[in-house]
Amino acid sequence: MDTPETLATRDGWRLLRRVLMEQRRGLIVGVIVGLLWAVGKVSVPQITKLGIDRGSEGNGSLLFWTGLVVAAAVIAGIFTAFRRWVAFRESRWIETRLREQIFDHLLRLHVGYHDRTQTGQLMSRASSDLQQLQAFVVMIPITLSNLAMIVAVVVLLFVSQPYLALFALAPLPLVNVLASRFSRRIHPAVLAVQQEQAQLATVVEESVSGVRVIKGFGAEGVQFAKVSTEADDIQRVSLEAARIRSRFLPALDVLPALGLVAVLGIGGHRVIDGAMTVGDLVKFNAYITMLIWPLRNLAMTVALGQRASVALMRVNEVLSTPSLVVDPESPTRLPAATIDRPVGEVRFRDVVFAYEGSDPVIDGFDLSIPAGHAVALVGATGSGKSTLVRLLTRFHDVKSGAIEIDGVDVRSMSLTDLRSAVGIVFEDTFLFHDPVRDNIAFARPEASDDVVHGAARLAGAHEFITALPEGYDTILGERGYSLSGGQRQRIAIARAIVAEPRVLVLDDATSAVDPSKEHEIREAMTTVMRGRTTIVIAHRPGTIALADTVVLLDGGRAVAVGSHDELLATNDRYRQVLAAWAVRDEDGDDDAPTPSPDSTTAVVESRRAVSRSADGEVV
Amino acid sequence: MWGMAAISEEDRLDRVQTLRTLRRSYDLARPQRRILHSALTLVLVSTLVTLAGPLLLRYAIDHGIKDGNGRVLNWLIVVYLGITAFGYGVGRLQYLAINRAGEGFLRTLRLTVFERLQRQSMAFFDREKAGVLVSRMTNDIESMGELIQFGLLQFVSAFLLLVLAVIVLFVMSWQLALVALVVLPLLVLASVRFQKQSNRAYLDVREKVGDNLSTLQEGITGVRVIQAYGQQDARSRRFHSTNRALFDSHMHSVKVSTWYFGLVEFAGIAATGAIIGIGGWLVHRDAVSIGTITAFILLLANLFDPVQQLSQLYNTVQSSTAALHKLFLIVDAKPDVDEVEHPTPLPARGAIDVVDVTFSYETADRPALRGVSITVADGERLALVGPTGAGKSTLAKLMARLYDPSMVDGTCGTVSFGGVDLRQSSMSDLRRRIVVVPQEGFCFGGTIRENVRIARPTATDAEVERALASIGALERFADFPEGLDTEVRERGSRLSAGERQLVALARAALVDPAVLVLDEATSNLDPGTEAVVEHALESLMNGRTVIVVAHRLSTVRRADRIAVVDHGELVELGSHDQLVTLGGRYAALASAWEASQPH
Ligand SMILES: Nc1ncnc2c1ncn2[C@@H]1O[C@H](COP(=O)(O)OP(=O)(O)OP(=O)(O)O)[C@@H](O)[C@H]1O
Ligand SMILES: Nc1ncnc2c1ncn2[C@@H]1O[C@H](COP(=O)(O)OP(=O)(O)OP(=O)(O)O)[C@@H](O)[C@H]1O
Ligand SMILES: [Mg+2]
Ligand SMILES: [Mg+2]
């Protein structure tokens, strides 16, 4: 029976075969060139021998033999160069193409996959794994021509001195055996070293990006202890690898010497006995020396092949993961807007969703948002607001129930249509290493400057952008100019505005904007939201007030729908989530409704604490 | 890949710097010195063994085979076998020794650099790009490891071999040596040229690899935004273009090296041919023996390898020394905020005194704080308020000595705790008294429990749970299928935005300092949860000195005194009521805040 592992390995080999077949023409050229090289290389000791044996008798014909050697040298030189070039071109090309395939596939894989998979893992699929493949492919033409050379040499030696050849060549297969055993042993050790190095890199990376937390708490010791554990681990596995190397590598150096000894011993006595010439002896020596590297290479190539197939297996795992969120077979188009029928209606029908391995987060969510309406989605931390947004744009698919835009199920329209219909401002703002302009015009790169500036103005971003060192051309992103959280959010809002979506979603989009500045942005948002279906996720009453309707999300359902004031007056849970009375209390607004004591104990307590300290400690 | 090492002109060290760097490394390797010396001795021995082979062969041919003396031949074979076995032993020891020395050195280097890195001030981290620092600690040190594993040994032995082989050649036969040396200078010249060209080509490759990897990474980390805006095709195209540029660059580097490898192959064969040809002629005239020729051929192979290796190793060694040099720059960088040699112990409690402090960020052209003086009494709660960019956070950070006050006209303000200048205290003492809680929800990879515990590594599980419970977050996390042992994943992506913040806040509830500095961030929490958290922090603040950078009216109201900061200066100081009555900036700010509340 096939274990999953052997199956995966077989898939790896299959992918390798396919990849090689695609490149067969180049590889064949490489092999032919390599064979020509082998001819040149093999002929040299033969010519030499003839030179010594006949040249010594001959009169002046030495020049002829020397010329022949030079000619062979030129051939070997040219073809070795050519072989190398072809081998590299083919192998790099395979690597390049596969990397593009991986990237393209990753960009289209469902978000659930990315949630689960570490960036570093995917990066190494597309970099170090492909490098292993490349290292193997580049060896193919080289190895095949080496192989041809080995065969030719062995045949030549056996033809000229079968007895001596037998002894001289006997230690050489050992080189091969040893080299392949070495590669097998060293591979896990090398992997372990890489793994430990990656772990160290993670700790260092965190220590640098989390330096504020570490310094604030004086937690340098914790990180140092982690680093020193990792450094010890690296030292341990590296020394283990060194031990393996020390066992094999000197042996590989020494073994061929045994062949030379055999030649010297047996060959020497034969020369003394007059059974062969000194030239033969020299030739044998030269050939044995010539075989050392190719034999070692051969074994390495076998090992590289094993490694490449493991790497390819991992690559294949990525490439063969189907996206769980794909275009339907025959997509339904969204109805176009007409004067009497505005678009952007959103319906959640009894939606249920759970993250893998967790209980349902969304559990029977029902909501209908008429076209052009603005809805505020309110709920406690972790209640599933952001999850609903992810479902709307099909980052995940619902477990049961349905989400519809203008009457079309999101699963039956094309992803392109869906995602140009929905524009999202995420709670974590991600900006690209591109100019401000390109970041804003992300969804419509062809948008004119007027459109971009207009969107920036609406998002309250134009002013600070023009004050940047290079205005709209300033490069942003992790490695670029760093903006404050509030500024980043405003650029993300502008990005959503340029997309002109039917449905605009703002997930906590003003959380990093200073409250005293928020009202400025709020005005701009009113303009953006006019006539457009909008879902606002917010905690601040000022932002909630932008919406026509408020929906309270609790326990995975829409438990209450109404205006802010209605909910405030009638819903305990809503008051609890917004801590509404506490705010009013502090504003000196005394007509706030009293919360019912049972459901809101925690907050009532906190309110008491607040007033006590306020009374007691103000000077 | 160490063979691809390259170094840019601006990184290249001059001779003095190189020597100094090597000297430094040698000093740092003090614990490994003995083993390093024995490794070098072993390298010398094994080089001699390598040279002995061809010489034995020569003797065997000339005095055993030629003279028809079987006994001599047999003896020589025994010696040869003995030397071979000896060579194996030496090789093995040499390998172990060099690696043990090297790995020990790298471990010291890693720890030294990291320790110094963590000692650097915030200003240092403001200045340096995170990616660069990380790659110093990882890529640079790793490539040095590869140098040690493969390069160092080869470099030394290649060099020795080259010198010794040339000497031996001349001793054996100066005529043949001259023939060989006709080819050798050619090879050396070619190698130098190749080394320059390939250096340039590899530099370009390295840059393209960097571009390619960052486009790749950006694509993966930004995949949600890319999909949300349907930009997969555009991003793919963009990646293809950096990827193709990388391919071209690789091919260029192959192209510049191709001729060289062809030439080396040609030169090797041609030199052998020439030795045989001319040698044969010399043999004829009895000027040299057949054994000499055989030895020459084997030795030549020993000569060509080192020349090739040296040209490649040259780049590796240079770029490694440059990397070492940069690491030493980090080690040597005197932390702007450093410890004195004999620190004064801090009292358990005390007032914080800020006297005439001026501070400028290095990159800024005007001071962030100017002549600020303020005293925060033991147990007092002070709120810092003011417009964006006024200098509130800066003042708070100075009070915790994340930065030191700047010098102005030769005088420097002071920040002291309980009468002791913070610059006179030790860092560990200081952090036990004064803790800064950044409210950004930064999560480290690992479990929820580990993330909270970072605030006090010695805290027990029960204490961590109590901290979470005190901010009302224990039940929420305990309800996860894996409870507090849930892996939060990279940057806490398994958690919701608010949950990340709760984890960060629980850290504050775990510490027990005399002075708490809170930089209140704008919040992702729902007000209900936030009220619970505020309540929890409230009890945490009781009985401590608290300095809070406030963004919320509710926080300000609960402070004993309010300091208004504007344009780096302290403009108002007093209680809420006093300042409202004063009718100045605070009064204006407070009414703006109130206007932003709902009605
Ligand atoms: N990738 C994931 N895998 C498993 N669970 C998740 C994942 N992402 C979120 N969750 C969990 O799902 C729940 C809902 O998360 P969500 O991000 O939707 O909350 P939210 O309402 O947006 O909260 P917040 O206001 O804090 O942003 C949380 O308990 C969270 O821990
Ligand atoms: N690391 C830094 N490097 C250079 N300049 C800085 C740095 N941090 C802050 N600044 C500048 O110093 C000034 C004061 O900044 P600070 O962070 O203290 O303001 P703040 O009052 O806390 O503002 P906010 O309310 O926005 O947090 C600002 O002009 C800011 O741009
Ligand atoms: Mg959320
Ligand atoms: Mg601040």
Nearby residues of B501 by Cβ (< 8 Å), 6 or more positions away: A381, B439, B441, B523, B524, B525
Cα–Cα distance measured from residue A435 to residue A465, given in angstroms and rounded to the nearest whole number:
11
Question: A496: CA distance to ligand 1 center in Å?
Answer: 23
Question: Which atom of ligand 2 approaches the CA of B384 most closely?
Answer: 21
Is A264 in contact with B596 (Cβ distance < 8 A)?
no
**pLDDT the model gives residue B564:** 93
Element holding B77 (H helix, E strand): helix B70-119
> In angstroms, what CA-CA distances link B336 with A264, B117, B329, B358, B371?
70, 12, 14, 16, 20
Lowest mean pLDDT among A488-497, B188-197, B371-380, B413-422: B188-197
Ligand 1 lined by A381 (C-beta under 6 Å): yes
Domain ranges of chain A: 4-319, 346-563, 571-612
For chains A and B, CB pairs below 8 A equal 520
Q: How far is B12 from chain A (nearest CA, A)?
A: 25
Residues of B in contact with A247 (CB under 8 A): 92
Which of B496, B500, B501, B505 has most ligand 1 atoms within 8 Å of its beta carbon, as the pocket-test mutant? Answer: B496
> In angstroms, what CA-CA distances link A234 with A54, A200, B305?
60, 9, 31
Best to test chain A binding among B141, B296, B535 (most A CBs inside 10 Å): B535
Ligand 1 lined by B495 (C-beta under 6 Å): yes
Query: In terms of domains, do B120 and B180 share one?
Result: no
- Which among A92, A515, A606 has the least Cβ separation from residue B532? A606
Cα–Cα distance measured from residue A388 to residue A390, given in angstroms and rounded to the nearest whole number:
5
Is B125 in contact with A208 (Cβ distance < 8 A)?
yes
Which of A383, A388, A391, A393 has most ligand 1 atoms within 8 Å of its beta carbon, as the pocket-test mutant? Answer: A383
Domain A4-319 bears CATH identifier 3.40.50.10540:
no
- Chain B residue with CA closest to A386: the answer is B496
**pLDDT the model gives residue B2:** 34
Could you tell me the pLDDT band of residue B150, with boundaries at 50, 70 and 90? low
Cα–Cα distance measured from residue A515 to residue B88, given in angstroms and rounded to the nearest whole number:
75
- Chain A residue with CA closest to B66: the answer is A272
**Pairing mode, strands B414-417 and B381-385:** unpaired
Question: A465: CA distance to ligand 2 center in Å?
Answer: 18
Is A512 in contact with B522 (Cβ distance < 8 A)?
yes
Query: In terms of domains, do B27 and B159 share one?
Result: yes
Q: Which CATH number fits domain A346-563: 3.30.479.10, 3.40.50.300, 3.40.50.10860, 3.20.20.140?
A: 3.40.50.300
The long-range contacts involving A360-364, CB below 8 angstroms and separated by at least 24 positions, are A360/A399, A360/A556, A361/A387, A361/A556, A362/A387, A362/A388, A362/A391, A362/A398, A362/A556, A363/A555, A363/A556, A363/A557, A364/A401, A364/A556, A364/A557
Ligand 1 lined by A358 (C-beta under 6 Å): yes
Is residue A79 classed as helix, strand or coil in its secondary structure?
A: helix
Residues of B in contact with A443 (CB under 8 A): 229-231
Query: In terms of domains, do B193 and B281 share one?
Result: yes
Residue bearing the CA closest to ligand 1, atom 23: A382
> In angstroms, what CA-CA distances link A397 with A339, A354, A400, A596?
32, 10, 9, 38
Nearby residues of B509 by Cβ (< 8 Å), 6 or more positions away: B466, B467, B468, B470, B471, B536, B537, B540
**pLDDT the model gives residue A6:** 57
Query: In terms of domains, do B108 and B196 share one?
Result: no
Residues of B in contact with A380 (CB under 8 A): 526, 528-529
Query: In terms of domains, do B431 and B441 share one?
Result: yes
**B79 pLDDT above the threshold of 70:** yes
Query: In terms of domains, do B128 and B236 share one?
Result: no
Q: How far is A1 from chain B (nearest CA, A)?
A: 35
Query: In terms of domains, do B365 and B384 share one?
Result: yes
Q: Which residues line ligand 2 (CB under 6 A)?
A: B 126, 361, 363-364, 368, 386, 388-394
- Which among B230, B499, B560 has the least Cβ separation from residue A617? B560
**B312 pLDDT above the threshold of 90:** no
Query: In terms of domains, do B263 and B161 share one?
Result: no
Of residues B434, B415, B404, B429, the one with CA closest to residue B335: B404
Among B250, B269, B287, where does a domain finish? B287
**pLDDT the model gives residue B3:** 44
Q: Is residue B295 part of a domain?
A: no
**pLDDT the model gives residue A516:** 61
Residue bearing the CA closest to ligand 2, atom 18: B391
Nearby residues of A85 by Cβ (< 8 Å), 6 or more positions away: B254, B255, B258
- Which among B254, B454, B480 has the least Cβ separation from residue A85? B254
Is B592 in contact with A516 (Cβ distance < 8 A)?
yes
Pair B214, B222: CB distance under 8 Å: no
Burial class (CB in 10 A: 0-12, 13-18, 19+), B287: middle
CA angle B497, B503, B504 (to 5 degrees): 95
Is A239 in contact with B100 (Cβ distance < 8 A)?
yes
Sign of CA dihedral A407, A396, A549, A517: negative
Backbone angles phi, psi at B525, to 5 degrees: -85, 150
In this prediction, residues B108-135 reach a mean pLDDT of 84
**pLDDT the model gives residue A59:** 54
**pLDDT the model gives residue A584:** 39
In this prediction, residues B189-200 reach a mean pLDDT of 83
Query: In terms of domains, do B430 and B508 share one?
Result: yes
Query: In terms of domains, do B179 and B158 share one?
Result: no
What secondary structure does DSSP assign to B411-430, as a single string? EE-EEEETTEEGGGS-HHHH
User: Residue B208 is encoded by which pair of tokens?
Assistant: 């393209």
Question: B393: CA distance to ligand 4 center in Å?
Answer: 4
Question: A442: CA distance to ligand 1 center in Å?
Answer: 27
- Which among A73, A111, A607 has the least Cβ separation from residue B266? A73
Element holding B537 (H helix, E strand): helix B527-541
Nearby residues of A440 by Cβ (< 8 Å), 6 or more positions away: A452, A455, A456, A491, A494, A495, A498
**pLDDT the model gives residue A60:** 54
pTM (two decimals): 0.81
Is B297 in contact with A282 (Cβ distance < 8 A)?
yes
**Pairing mode, strands A360-369 and A346-354:** antiparallel
**pLDDT the model gives residue B323:** 81
Could you tell me the pLDDT band of residue B247, with boundaries at 50, 70 and 90? very high
Question: B443: CA distance to ligand 1 center in Å?
Answer: 15
Cα–Cα distance measured from residue B43 to residue B203, given in angstroms and rounded to the nearest whole number:
31
Query: In terms of domains, do B133 and B226 share one?
Result: no
Which of A351, A352, A358, A578 has most ligand 1 atoms within 8 Å of its beta carbon, as the pocket-test mutant? Answer: A358
Q: Is residue B301 part of a domain?
A: no
Mean pLDDT of successive 10-residue stretches along chain A, which has 619 residues = 55 78 84 85 76 58 75 87 89 93 94 85 84 87 86 87 84 80 83 84 83 82 90 93 87 79 85 82 78 75 77 87 90 85 91 91 94 92 92 94 94 92 88 91 92 91 88 79 77 91 86 65 78 87 85 92 88 82 40 35 28 28
Q: Is residue B340 part of a domain?
A: no
CA angle A305, A309, A315 (to 5 degrees): 140
**pLDDT the model gives residue A617:** 28
**In the beta sheet, which residues pair with residue A506?**
A425, A536
Cα–Cα distance measured from residue B253 to residue B249, given in angstroms and rounded to the nearest whole number:
6
For residue B504, the enclosing domain spans 352-596
Sign of CA dihedral B251, B257, B263, B264: negative
Highest mean pLDDT among A1-10, B133-142, B143-152, B542-551: B542-551
What secondary structure does DSSP assign to B105-167, as a single string? HHHHHHHHHHHHHHHS-HHHHHHS-HHHHHHIIIIIHHHHHHIIIIIIHHHHHHHHHHHHHHH
Question: Which of the ligands is closest to the CA of residue B448?
Answer: 1
Question: Which of the ligands is closest to the CA of residue A514?
Answer: 2
In this prediction, residues B43-49 reach a mean pLDDT of 87
Pair B73, A268: CB distance under 8 Å: yes
Is A123 in contact with B217 (Cβ distance < 8 A)?
yes
Tens digits of residue pLDDT in B533-550: 777 777 778 888 999 988
Ligand 1 lined by A383 (C-beta under 6 Å): yes
Is B218 in contact with A589 (Cβ distance < 8 A)?
no
Question: B392: CA distance to ligand 2 center in Å?
Answer: 8
Query: In terms of domains, do B152 and B209 share one?
Result: no
Cα–Cα distance measured from residue A260 to residue B350, given in angstroms and rounded to the nearest whole number:
84
Backbone angles phi, psi at B465, to 5 degrees: -65, -40
Ligand 1 lined by B527 (C-beta under 6 Å): no
**B1 pLDDT above the threshold of 50:** no
Cα–Cα distance measured from residue B566 to residue A445, given in angstroms and rounded to the nearest whole number:
41
Pair A347, A38: CB distance under 8 Å: no
Residues of B in contact with A210 (CB under 8 A): 442, 444
Residue bearing the CA closest to ligand 1, atom 4: A355
Could you tell me the pLDDT band of residue B213, with boundaries at 50, 70 and 90? confident
Written as one letter, the residue type at A419 is R
